[in-house]
Amino acid sequence: MKNLILFLLSVACCQFAAAATLEFSVVARDGKPVPWVVITAGDKTVETNSGTAIMDQIHKAFAPYVLAVHAGQNVSFPNSDHIRHHVYSFSDPKPFELKLYSGEPEAPINFPNEGVVVLGCNIHDNMVGYIYVTQRPLMATTDIDGRAALSSNAPVTEIEVWHPALSLDSLTRLSFPIDQLNQQNGVYQIRLDIDQPDPDPQAIRMKDREQFKRFLNR
């Protein structure tokens, strides 16, 4: 019995030791950091029990600009503006419509299908946002500094990368074998052949929002 317990403890320790965090840095062709890059990895077998994700509307903009969710996850669309919005999408993975409303909508929207969902507002044409729906278990989105991290108990051999600017239709995804990526100080380097406007007002606004939330929760 004692030997069995020791064996189980050793297995658990090995599993814990196998957990690893992979850090990534994504830049544009000019070397500037690229926020809102979605990085995913793992086999497409995820069955999500994730909670409801939030796609807010702040200052006539979707916040965040890019939201990554698992297939089958619910997304709520609160309207934090003092004006009404009419949110919709014609994208194949999830066409839907939330007619003119303010505050909280009646119910969240479920996103069962993998793909890119482009969001718009029928009242404010300049409002554009993206929901990236994935079946892969590991996902992360780069911050204002172009940094993101994936944590996994299993070896990661390949990642998939998406950003709206990779193609005109915003559907293009790129695959990178991990062993072919350069590393600097333990951080995997990814360079995308895109132009990155500087600064990104959405990324700055979201960073300020997160800092404010942390201040309130102290």
List the chain domain ranges.
20-43+138-218, 44-135
Do 199 and 34 meet the contact criterion of CB atoms below 8 Å apart? no
Q: What's the pLDDT score for residue 68? A: 98
Q: What's the pLDDT score for residue 16? A: 43
Question: Is the full-model pTM beyond 0.85?
Answer: no
Q: What's the pLDDT score for residue 106? A: 85
**pLDDT, block means (10 residues), the chain with 218 residues:** 47 52 96 96 76 96 96 96 95 96 93 96 94 96 97 94 92 96 96 77 54 49
Q: What's the pLDDT score for residue 201? A: 56
Q: What residues contact residue 71 under an 8 Å CB cut-off, 6+ apart?
A: 46, 48, 111, 112, 113, 114, 133, 134, 135
Long-range pairs, 196-203, Cβ under 8 A, ≥24:
196/27, 196/28, 196/30, 196/32, 196/33, 196/34, 196/165, 198/32, 200/35, 200/36, 200/144, 202/35, 202/36, 202/61, 202/63, 202/64, 202/65, 203/35, 203/36, 203/65, 203/143, 203/144
- Kindly give the pairing relationship between strand 128-134 and strand 96-101: unpaired
The yes-or-no answer to whether 20-43+138-218 and 44-135 have a common fold is yes
CA distance 53 to 184: 33
For domain 20-43+138-218, give its CATH number from 1.10.260, 2.60.40, 2.40.10, 1.10.8: 2.60.40
Secondary-structure breakdown of the chain: helix, strand, coil percentages, each rounded to the nearest 5: 20, 40, 45
CA distance 170 to 165: 6
Q: What's the pLDDT score for residue 50? A: 76
Q: What's the pLDDT score for residue 3? A: 52
Q: What's the pLDDT score for residue 48? A: 62
What are the φ and ψ backbone dihedral angles of 167, each rounded to 5 degrees?
Answer: -155, 165
Q: What's the pLDDT score for residue 150? A: 97
Q: What's the pLDDT score for residue 115? A: 96
Name the CATH superfamily, with its identifier, for domain 44-135: Cupredoxins -  blue copper proteins (2.60.40.420)
Q: What's the pLDDT score for residue 197? A: 61
Q: What's the pLDDT score for residue 44? A: 80
Q: What's the pLDDT score for residue 217? A: 54
Q: What's the pLDDT score for residue 170? A: 87
Do 133 and 3 meet the contact criterion of CB atoms below 8 Å apart? no
Q: What's the pLDDT score for residue 32? A: 94
- Cα three-residue angle 171-178-143, rounded to 5 degrees: 60
